[in-house]
Amino acid sequence: MKEHLFILLLFGFSLIVLSVLFYFIYKSSLIDEHSSRELSQSKKKRFQFFFFLLVLLLIGLMVSIPKSPYFKYSKDIPAKIIHAAAMQYVFLLSSQSIDMNNLASEEIIVPQGKVVEFRVTSLDVTHGFGIYNNDNQLITQTQAMPGYVNRLRWKFDEPGEYQILCLEFCGTGHAFMRSTFTVK
């Protein structure tokens, strides 16, 4: 929560700095005295338009930023946690945390209709972690990044075989990088 507040304040501060900057740029661009009445009218309209845009942007930021980073199902307690480690060119899946000294993947069964959590990391370069349903539609995704664990929560309403595909070009085997799990 503290980080959210910090980000919000940072955005607010940047906004003020940018507004002041734009104000001075706008002021310095004004032609004084001899400018015709028509020209100043159109400038006034333009200023009003951009001011309106700025207000819209401000409202949008104020509403959306406190909700970031949009962690879905954040209030739920996941019924299952799946650990996923990406490496060139495979996803290791495990219901236990990934053991670096004994890298192995296991068959994962995900309970249907319950919130589950994927804890996704990478053991080498940055990979994508895209989950596709039976119809090959991308339903949710996150990034697999070395040194970070990204948490992805999802509720699978449909049973079946789901695929995990890499969404980040990570080397020559990128296109073949995939894993599967079952929802039932």
Number of C-alpha atoms within 13 angstroms, CB side, residue 128? Answer: 19
Q: Does 152 bind ligand CUA (CB under 6 A)?
A: no
Q: Are 152 and 140 in contact (CB under 8 A)?
A: yes
Q: Which is nearer to ligand CUA, 115 or 170 (CB)?
A: 170
Which residue(s) pair with 21 in the sheet?
Answer: none
d(CA 158, CA 179): 18
Interacting residue with ligand CUA among 115, 152, 166, 183 (CB under 6 A): 166
Q: Which stretch binds ligand CUA (CB under 6 A): 7-15, 38-46, 60-68, 166-174?
A: 166-174
Q: At which residue do the structure tokens 């700025």 appear?
A: 54
Cα Rg of the chain (Å, integer):
25
Q: Does 120 bind ligand CUA (CB under 6 A)?
A: no
Q: Does 127 bind ligand CUA (CB under 6 A)?
A: yes
Q: Which stretch binds ligand CUA (CB under 6 A): 12-20, 30-38, 134-142, 168-176?
A: 168-176
Q: Which stretch binds ligand CUA (CB under 6 A): 13-21, 40-48, 77-85, 169-177?
A: 169-177
Q: Does 51 bind ligand CUA (CB under 6 A)?
A: no
Angle between helices 37-64 and 2-28 in degrees, nearest 10: 180
Q: Are 96 and 103 in contact (CB under 8 A)?
A: no
Q: At which residue do the structure tokens 């333009």 appear?
A: 46
Q: Which stretch binds ligand CUA (CB under 6 A): 17-25, 54-62, 153-161, 164-172?
A: 164-172
Q: Does 177 bind ligand CUA (CB under 6 A)?
A: yes
Bond prior to 159 in cis (omega within 30° of 0): no
Using CB under 6 A, which residues numbered 60 to 99 contact ligand CUA? 86
Residue numbers of the site for ligand CUA (CB under 6 A)?
86, 127, 166, 168-170, 174, 177
